[in-house]
Amino acid sequence: MKLSAENLTCVRGGRTVFENVSFELADGEALLLTGPNGAGKSSLLRLIAGLVEPAAGNLRLTGHDSDLSIGQASHFIGHANALKGAMSVQENLDFWARFLGGAEGSQSLEPFALEAHATIPAALLSAGQSRRLALLRLTAVPRRLWLLDEPTVGLDTASLATLVGLMERHLADGGLIIAASHVDVGIAFKHRLELAGRRAAS
Amino acid sequence: MNHLTALVKRDLKLAYRLGGGAGTAIGFFLVVVTLLPLGIGPDSALLSRISAGAIWIALLLSVLLSVDRIFQADHEDGSLELMLLGPVSLEMIVVSKTFAHWLTTGLPLAVTAPLFGVLLNIEPGAIGPLVLSTLIGSPALSFLGALGGAITLGVRRGGLLLSLLILPLYVPVLIFGVSAASASGAGPDISTPSLLVLSALSLATLVLCPLAAAAAIRSHFR
């Protein structure tokens, strides 16, 4: 599987967020997006997921089931955790596993050590715990491309180590990761892309 | 199909737990129908004459007050954009979510409408047509509401704007719903043709509103 972007330009609300962004990412490779606030890291991830249309440029994913869009082949961990406070931790994860991947039954909360909280409403989780629950979608549904927007926000050291372990295993299995982060996540990124405000970057 | 049943179940669960379930809708319906005789006086002949219209307007208001629930909360917590990355098309997501809304609002109200009709001194012969018309017409209310909810997606406190957008679209449903519910009194019997038009409206909204709502949601994210 290979993801290639050529001269992507993103315009939001009449403002050019970034232009001429190109990169290539193959199996088992990771790309780190860096840049100041507002440089367009999140916009680029949303654009790759297909939530935003590029104003110009091409985005292609080759070597996967061509019936699926890039978004349908990827996990998108955005700023919002997409959790329902009125549902329990287990119900939240099971819903997304079933909706996104068609997986039956209850999913394991073990990777991020939330099994003790399985039955409490997600509204009672702390910010870090909510993040961990959102990140559990990565293990519950197998998808090749991971789009992670500030995945480390709110995570404690143990959870961060878990996330790094998951990402390393995903890469070893031939998966692709694009992460936007201000801090060094802790895995070896083969590619780095610095988005520098309105200037072109590559 | 598995994906969509999961979605419908989740929406039903959430509606039930967040107090947006059948009980709340029926409670609201009851309050409106009770207020009406207090407002226009205890003239039972008059109440009987307007009962079908009053029930339809109460139904319309209860649907209107709850349609923002279909997308708003999911939009705010990021669930909606995640749903766009699921294996089912956005149109089918809209259909499922609207169906869940109808199950918690339109359906319970249509089923209990005869009880409230009694409060308004409805003629016994008019109960059957009333249930039939509310049952057939209420999906159209939910689907039109879903369209309004999708269009006002990013608008905070968009309730008033939503009403302004959808209420005009409710006019045909209301007209044919009421005339289908009215037992044939004087003049030619127009309840059967009205019922057919009402069915057509429901079917048309079932097909067209999800397309339009999905387009509105997509353009909102762009």
The residues in B 10-49 lying below 8 A from A, measured between CB atoms, are 10, 13-14, 17-18
CA dist., res. B141 & res. B26, Å (int): 16
pLDDT tens-place string over residues A133-166: 999 999 998 899 999 999 988 889 999 999 999 9
Torsion angle of the four alpha carbons B112, B115, B119, B124, in this order, in degrees rounded to the nearest 10: 120
Task: Read off the pLDDT of residues B111-122 as tens digits, 9 standing for 90 and up.
Answer: 898 888 888 888
**DSSP secondary structure of A9-38:** EEEETTEEEEEEEEEEE-TT-EEEEE-STT
Residues of A in contact with B82 (CB under 8 A): 76, 78, 82, 96, 100
Q: Which residues contact B80 (CB under 8 A, 6 or more apart)?
A: B71, B74, B217
pLDDT score of A125 = 92
Residue B183: which pLDDT band, with cuts at 50, 70 and 90? low
Among residues B88, B90, B100, B89, which one has the least CA distance to residue B8? B100
Return the domain boundaries, chain B.
Answer: 2-221
- Which member of A51, A79, A95 has the closest CB to residue B84? A51
Domain spanning A1-73+147-202: CATH 3.40.50.300: yes
Q: Which residues of A touch B78 (CB under 8 A)?
A: 78-82
Global pTM?
Answer: 0.90
Ordered alpha helix ranges (H), B105-222: 106-119, 124-151, 159-181, 191-221
Question: Is it the case that residue A178 has pLDDT exceeding 60?
Answer: yes
| pLDDT given at position A202 | 42
- Test the B interface: residue of A79, A84, A92, A148 with most B CBs within 10 Å: A84
Q: Which chain A residues are Cβ-neighbours of B221 within 8 angstroms?
A: 46, 51-52
pLDDT digit string, tens, across residues A35-77: 888 888 899 999 999 888 888 888 888 887 777 888 888 999 9
pLDDT of residue A200: 45
Stretch (H or E) spanning A168: helix A157-172
What integer pLDDT is reported at residue A201 of this predicted model? 43
Q: What is the pLDDT of residue B125?
A: 82
Closest Cα to residue A106, out of B4, B6, B93, B88?
B6
- For chain B, the C-alpha Rg in angstroms (whole number) is 18
Of the candidates B10, B78, B85, the beta carbon closest to that of A80 is on: B78
B218 and chain A: CB distance < 8 Å anywhere? no
Q: What is the mean pLDDT of residues B32-47?
A: 87
The predicted complex's ipTM stands at: 0.87
Residue A198 has pLDDT above 60, yes or no: no
pLDDT of residue A197: 64
Lowest-confidence segment of A184-188, B32-36, B166-170 by average pLDDT: A184-188
Give residue A192's pLDDT: 86
Whether B87 and A82 lie within 8 Å, measured CB to CB: no
Candidates A74, A75, A99; nearest CB to B6? A99
Give the residue range(s) of CATH 3.40.50.300 domains in chain A.
1-73+147-202
Torsion of CA B76, B77, B78, B82, to 10 degrees: -120
- Model confidence pLDDT, tens digit, residues A89-116: 999 999 999 999 878 878 888 888 888 9
Mean pLDDT, all residues of chain B: 88
pLDDT in tens, B64-79: 888 888 998 899 999 9
